[in-house]
Each structure stands twice: as structure tokens, then as C-alpha cells.
Amino acid sequence: MPVNKNALIRYKTIDNCLRNPYRRWTVEDLVDACSDALYDFEGIRRGVSLRTIQGDLQMMRSDKLGYNAPIEVYDHKYYRYSDRDYSIMNLPLSHNDIETMTEAVNLLRQFEDFDHFNEMSDVVSRLQDNLAVARGKKKIVDFEHNGNLKGLRFLNPLYNHIARRQTIDIRYKSFTSQKSHDYTVFPHLLKEYRNRWFLFCSNKKGTIYNLALDRIESIKEVKDIPYKDNPDFNPDKYFENIIGVTRWNNPVKIIFLASSEQARYIETKPIHSSQQTVREAGDDGSMIFSVFVEPNWEFFSTMLGFGSGVRILSPNSVVREMKRKMTKAVEQYSIPLSEYGVDDDGANE
């Protein structure tokens, strides 16, 4: 039975409500929750009727969609699941669902050779692999993911705020701050780096902020402040000379030596698009490379990840900073383990 997107949003919202045992939900509460969800996800302002939610509850109780949700009424007006562990999100895909999704994936596969769809290839592969698992087959591709990452619930609302050009208030607590701060910003871009999501936005003065989604505590639309574009924020230019998401100083040409063990790896997987091979450094297979980047936190993190297999040669300012970081790392190993409550074998005391 086909279900439209708005109905699916309502079902999922009702499901989230009824799974919360710490609140008593009336049908009016469910109406308000679904109205808020439809506004957040689809920009629908007219709300939802009481009759619609009553119909949704009956549909979820039935087997028409395969839910058979154990929804019960208690104290003559409150709704909940009689089975605390139940959720419509835990139900397996039906045969028809799998076939429909397979057809959609096959359709997307036809566009792989078009330039504009190149970036979709990994998404299609994920879908195809998940469908194979749903059919009981072994997983073929294992993509990196972090299911415990905080802040993912803000992805879709932020996407919608950017698409609709809406000003928003964000409550944010950085790792270095003892308390939360409120920012009124114009959201411009969502960016992923190493399985972590970041929002790039700017304030009234044009100052660009880079906010990690896992540090955001809440967001809400600000209706009385018009959205403002930032002409200084061009993603292609902004990220052109950086690794990761942090702007630091001006980009510089950095030359570094890679050992024979790391050289081939770095050659086949450049650390940045500007990477060039300067020359071979010796008969052992070591090589010298150059990159034109800002020496930001992510750059040093990448280079430190190669351990003794990489040595920065120039410029001197970057060499000094790299040496300082490596010296500090070595000093960590001079601290007795007893100071951390660990014995010599690495076990807790």
C-alpha cells in the first residue's frame, strides 16, 4: 500500500512519542508533535487535524502497512505502546519494499556515467549493499560509519533551513567552553569530514562560523530576521587550500620526506589535491612531496598519523611546530604509568 512522505513523517513522529515512557501523550499532544515535525521537515504551516492523527493511529494499529503497532489507551485519554521495546523502525523490510528499492537502485545505476552523478556512486553502492543484506546475502562493501555520533538528528532540519534560506538560533557548547552560547546565524553549508558533520554559517557582521553538529544543543528558526547571504563564503574557494574544515593562516608550500614504507601509500592516496612529487629521495624508495595548504590542525593530525614515516623539510615555521608536537608526544611516555593509576603491565591498579 503506497504511503506519501507526509504520512511517513507523521508515523515516525507518533512512533518517537509513544516510545517515550516519561511523558503522557494525549491525541492533542500527538497532533502538536506531528504539526511541528511537518513544519521542520517540509515547511508545512497549516498543521495536522485531529481526525488525521486518529486515522494514523488506526493505520499503525492495523496490518495494512505491516506495523501491527501495540498502541493502547490508558486512563481513558493517554496513548502508549504496551510493548516498551516496540518501534515501527525495528520492523524488517517487506518483500515488496525490497523489490521497490531494488528497482530504484537499478534506475540510479543507469546514470553512473554522467559527470553530475559521479558523487552519487558511493550512495548507490551503500543502498545496493544494504539491499543485498536484506535479502540474506553477505555484505560485499563495508563503508565507514559511526552510529554513535551525536548531532545527526540536526542534519535534516539544518538542510531544510539552508534550502529555505532561514535565519536560525543555535545553542552551542564547544569543547573548550564551560557553558553554552547562543548564536543567531545564517546557515550556508553542511560538510562532512572523517565521519563528523559541520555547519558553516555566518552572523550579521559576516563572521564565518564552523560549528560541529555534535556540539549543537538546539536549533530554532528566527522569523523576524531576514536571511543574509555571505559573498565571502564560496565553498570551492574556502576549502581549496585546506585539509579538513579548519581555516588557519595563509596557505604555504610545504615540502616533506616520506619513507619507502609510506611513499607509495601517499603517492596513490594524496593528502591534498595540490600534492606533487618533487623527486625520489634515494635508492630505498623514499620520496619527497609538496603540498600547498594551510598548516591547520587537520594537516598536523594527518602528518602525525604517519609517525616516523614522514619528516617535514620546509618551511621552518611548520618544521618547528611539527617538532614541538612530536616532542610533546614523546614526553607523554616519560610520565610514570602510576600517575594514571595503571601498573607496569598496562592494567588498572
Q: For residue 244, what pLDDT band results from cuts at 50, 70 and 90?
A: very high
Question: Is a pLDDT exceeding 70 seen at residue 183?
Answer: yes
Question: Is a pLDDT exceeding 70 seen at residue 133?
Answer: no
What angle, 0 to 180 degrees and rounded to 10, lies between the N-to-C axes of helices 50-61 and 27-42? 100
- CB-based contacts of 347, cutoff 8 Å, min separation 6: none
**Residue range 139-151: mean pLDDT, rounded:** 65
**Residue range 339-345: mean pLDDT, rounded:** 75
- Would residue 340 count as lying in a domain? no
Q: For residue 1, what pLDDT band results from cuts at 50, 70 and 90?
A: very low
C-alpha torsion 287→194→174→39, nearest 10: 150
Supply the DSSP symbol for 91.
S
- Would residue 263 count as lying in a domain? yes
- Would residue 346 count as lying in a domain? no
Q: Quick one: what percent of the chain has pLDDT higher than 90?
A: 53
Identify which of 179, 237, 246 has the alpha carbon closest to the alpha carbon of residue 210.
246
Together in a domain, 80 and 108:
no
Domain with 186 in it: 152-238
Q: For residue 150, what pLDDT band results from cuts at 50, 70 and 90?
A: confident
- CB-based contacts of 168, cutoff 8 Å, min separation 6: 158, 161, 184, 185, 187, 219, 220, 221, 222
Together in a domain, 101 and 84:
no
Together in a domain, 85 and 108:
no
Residue 12 belongs to a domain with what CATH number?
1.10.10
Amino acid at 339: E
**Most confidently modeled range among 27-31, 119-123, 149-153:** 27-31
Pick 110 or 21 by higher pLDDT: 21
Together in a domain, 300 and 222:
no
Together in a domain, 156 and 233:
yes
Together in a domain, 109 and 182:
no
d(CA 179, CA 31): 34
- Would residue 349 count as lying in a domain? no
Least confident of 24-28, 104-108, 339-343: 104-108
Together in a domain, 27 and 65:
yes
Q: What is the number of structural domains in the chain?
A: 4
Question: Is a pLDDT exceeding 70 seen at residue 220?
Answer: yes
- CB-based contacts of 248, cutoff 8 Å, min separation 6: 242, 294, 295, 296, 297
- Would residue 10 count as lying in a domain? yes
**Residue range 311-335: mean pLDDT, rounded:** 93
318-323 contacts, C-beta under 8 A, 24 or more apart: 318/252, 318/254, 321/295
Together in a domain, 126 and 168:
no
Together in a domain, 50 and 122:
no
Q: Are 111 and 39 in contact (CB under 8 A)?
A: no
- Would residue 337 count as lying in a domain? no
- Would residue 18 count as lying in a domain? yes
CB burial of residue 289 (10 Å; 0-12, 13-18, 19+): buried
Together in a domain, 114 and 164:
no
- CB-based contacts of 40, cutoff 8 Å, min separation 6: 157, 160
Task: State pLDDT tens for residues 10-69.
Answer: 999 999 999 988 899 999 999 999 998 888 888 788 889 999 999 999 999 998 888 899
Helix (H/G/I), strand (E/B), else coil: 216: strand
Residue 274 belongs to a domain with what CATH number?
3.30.70
Question: Is a pLDDT exceeding 80 seen at residue 336?
Answer: yes
Pick 130 or 39 by higher pLDDT: 39
Together in a domain, 62 and 35:
yes
d(CA 280, CA 289): 9
Together in a domain, 114 and 188:
no
- Would residue 343 count as lying in a domain? no
Grid cell locating 109: 545505476
In whole numbers, what is the pLDDT of the chain averaged over residues?
85
Q: How many CB atoms lie within 10 A of CB 5?
A: 10
